[in-house]
Structure 1
Amino acid sequence: MAVSYMDYTSPNAQFTYDLKNNNIFTKDSRNLINALGIQQLNTLGNVSLLDIYLSTGNVVEPHIHQNASELVYCISGAAVVSLINPFTKQLLNFPIAPGQVANIPQGWWHYEIATVDNTHLLAIFDAPVPEVILGSDLLRLTPASVYAHTYCLDEATWKAAVAPITNSVFIGPPVGCANNQVAGAAAAPQHAGYHHGQTAGAMAGPSNAGVPYPQQPYAHREHPAYGYPQFPGSGPHGGWGYGHYNG
Structure 2
Amino acid sequence: MSTQMDYTSPGTQFAFDVNTNPIFKKDANNYLNLLSVNQLNTLQNISLLDIFLSKGNVIEPHYHQNASELVYCISGAVEISLLNPFTKQYVRYLITPGQVVNLPQGWWHYEIATQDNTHLLAIFDANVPDIIYGSDILRLTPTNVFAYTYCLDEAALKTTLAPIKNTVVLGPPTDCSYNPVQGASAANPSANQGFVQQQAANPNQVMPQQKYGHHHRAPQF
TM-score interval, smaller chain:
0.7 to 0.9
Alignment partner, residue 4 of structure 2: 5
Q: Which amino acid aligns with 1:24?
A: I
Cα distance in structure 2, aligned partners of 1:41 and 1:128: 10
Q: Which amino acid aligns with 1:160?
A: T
Q: 1:165 to 1:188 in 2, by over 3 A?
A: closer
Q: Which amino acid aligns with 1:99?
A: G
CA contact (8 A) 1:46 1:127 kept: yes
Alignment of 1:35-114 (within 5 A): 35-114=34-113
Q: Which amino acid aligns with 2:208?
A: G
Structure 2: 5+ residue stretches without partners: 199-206
Q: 1:189 to 1:81 in 2, by over 3 A?
A: closer
Per-residue CA deviations over 1:73-94 (Å, capped at 9, x if unaligned) read 0000000110000000001001
CA contact (8 A) 2:57 2:187 kept: no
CA contact (8 A) 1:68 1:106 kept: yes
Q: Aligned residues, how many? A: 205
Query: Relative to total residues, which structure has the larger helix share, 1 or 2?
Result: 1
CA contact (8 A) 2:82 2:91 kept: yes
Q: Which amino acid aligns with 2:131?
A: V
CA contact (8 A) 2:93 2:210 kept: no
Q: 1:108 to 1:46 in 2, by over 3 A?
A: same
C-alpha RMSD over aligned residues: 2.4
Alignment partner, residue 157 of structure 2: 158
Q: Which amino acid aligns with 1:6?
A: M
Residue 190 of structure 1 deviates from its aligned partner by: 5.3
Task: Report SS of the residue matched to 1:42.
Answer: coil
CA contact (8 A) 1:66 1:132 kept: yes
| Residue 136 (str. 1) matches residue 135 (str. 2) | yes
TM-score (norm 2): 0.86
Query: Relative to total residues, which structure has the larger strand share, 1 or 2?
Result: 2
Per-residue CA deviations over 1:43-69 (Å, capped at 9, x if unaligned) read 011000000000001000000100100
CA contact (8 A) 1:140 1:162 kept: yes
Structure 1: 5+ residue stretches without partners: 212-247
Residue 134 of structure 1 deviates from its aligned partner by: 0.5
Q: Which amino acid aligns with 2:112?
A: I
Q: 1:171 to 1:43 in 2, by over 3 A?
A: same
Per-residue CA deviations over 1:77-112 (Å, capped at 9, x if unaligned) read 000110000000001001110000000000000000
Q: 1:190 to 1:160 in 2, by over 3 A?
A: closer
Cα distance in structure 2, aligned partners of 1:35 and 1:141: 25
Q: 1:191 to 1:80 in 2, by over 3 A?
A: farther
Per-residue CA deviations over 1:130-169 (Å, capped at 9, x if unaligned) read 1111000000000111111000111111111111000000
